[in-house]
Structure 1
């Protein structure tokens, strides 16, 4: 099943069911007016939403929307919780190696995670608006899951049953603001603006055998200004699966329905196309040439992020964002 949220001039938008080809959608306000409502009542509404999805794909629905021209918001425009992990420890290892810093052994057994801004997420085609290019604008291509209510102290295996929806995201980072924030030993804040989401989220069954044991085994493509930056397989080199990430987040407190958990930057070790952010590309350049040559994003740059199935069809739709200067209003 594929779901999305389209603009209806409210902050939470309007939930729609989308067909497999991402061409048509149908409103389902009679079942669930918003994504958060659906997640809050998943056990009650899932069957009805799936029925609509099946009828839509069988062309048994007449009152449809052209999804290609719809104003798409983030599938969940604001959430109660957004926690981003760093599941690809090879990525962390590379970044630290580039600055001659050792990787603590605990990083291989205890996930890194930070809590980000969930009061607003932005849509797949919304601009990345940043005030200053000197802040080091970078994209981060990731996989993310959305849960129902997750009890505290859950095991990683049990946590997998609470994953209701899966998507891809662009977790934008302002690299040049990060060192000062981390030096305070209190985590990210200013260096992490709003996160953008692919047009649709899908239920795990939609991914068939490519979703295994909390990992999504497909390449994630990142294209900057028409040039492929990387296409690492999201299921390879993922040290911590999503069950482990959710269990980590829920160690001491429950997670409410609609909690979004990110994988961190997808990366494959030793692959020429294994990177999903500029920072990693620059680290590889430092190790090879002694200095970086690839600049961070500038105003006017365009980043596209997409994942395709084995037939080459887009699963979640494309994140397609222009970097723009933020103007105070």
Structure 2
């Protein structure tokens, strides 16, 4: 199923189920008011949301309405924890497999005000960059969880575009993150989801020009990421984990990578427009697009 949080004047938005083709939606009224509420009692609430999703996809949901991503907040507008991998696995690793014995280094980013897909983001001075990636929204996981336990804790997948200040200390390096409007359960990916690895292509463009096609198979496996985050403490339902920089299959994954290759590229500035979309092999719509402008 696919879920979104609509702007209703509150900080956490109003939870809605979205159709598979992203054409329609239906508020989850009477089931759960917010996504965080659903995550905290997932085993009880998720089957009810799935029933509503089935009705919506079959055209039998009452009170369905046309889905408008411009009215959406981030799927999870506030997260108890927003932890990201700081770098990608070694490029020599086979797709979907981190190097033997390797573990992602993590840093914490601001999770108190996560942005929706169409709102403005601050154009902060300095070496401001973007870093498209998949993220997992997880349930409770124990301290010292294994990668398998981490994978089992994944409830939803989301598409994120953190802004990165390349010259700032780690604690200040991710001032804002935008999210595509829809989060989805991993089963929505079908065969593109195997052993905690999503086989998707992220299409990124800046000011209407394509910057790269990114291969999510080459990022950190999300179950391994959850295990790394739980090394010393348990994870709480509603924690948000980012897979980190997504290596490019063609082009470049970020401005920093383009500059490192010897090409000229200006850092992000006011007026720049970012577009990000995720595609499976069959081209089906997944999370919806991130379309934002820096101001």
TM-score normalized with structure 1 length: 0.84
Alignment counterpart, residue 210 of structure 1, candidates 175, 192, 216: 192
- Indicate yes or no: 2:175 matched with 1:193: yes
Number of residues of Structure 1 aligned to a counterpart in Structure 2:
290
Equivalences for residues 168-317 of structure 1 within 5 A: 168-175=159-166, 177-178=167-168, 181=169, 188-235=170-217, 237-238=218-219, 240-268=220-248, 271-273=249-251, 275-285=252-262, 292-317=263-288
> Structure 2: where are the runs of 5+ without partners?
92-98
Alignment counterpart, residue 125 of structure 1, candidates 97, 100, 118: 118
2:60 alignment counterpart = 60
Give the distance between the partners of 1:69 and 1:87, measured in 2 at CA: 30
Q: Which whole-Å deviations, capped at 9, do the CAs of 1:62-83 have from their partners, x for residues lacking one?
A: 3112212651000000011110
Counting helix residues as a fraction of each chain, which structure ranks higher?
Answer: 1
Equivalences for residues 67-82 of structure 1 within 5 A: 67-68=67-68, 71-82=71-82
Q: Which whole-Å deviations, capped at 9, do the CAs of 1:134-187 have from their partners, x for residues lacking one?
A: x12211100000001111111111211110000110011122x32xx2xxxxxx
Alignment counterpart, residue 114 of structure 1, candidates 100, 107, 116: 107
Alignment check: 8 A CA contact 2:160 2:177 kept: yes
Q: Which whole-Å deviations, capped at 9, do the CAs of 1:27-80 have from their partners, x for residues lacking one?
A: 112101000000001010111100000000000013112212651000000011
Give the distance between the partners of 2:164 and 2:278, measured in 1 at CA: 21
Equivalent residue of 2:157, what SS?
A: strand
Instruction: Indicate the structure (1 or 2) with the bigger Cα radius of gyration.
Output: 1
Alignment check: 8 A CA contact 1:90 1:267 kept: no
Give the distance between the partners of 1:199 and 1:127, measured in 2 at CA: 14
Counting strand residues as a fraction of each chain, which structure ranks higher?
Answer: 2
Alignment check: 8 A CA contact 1:6 1:70 kept: no
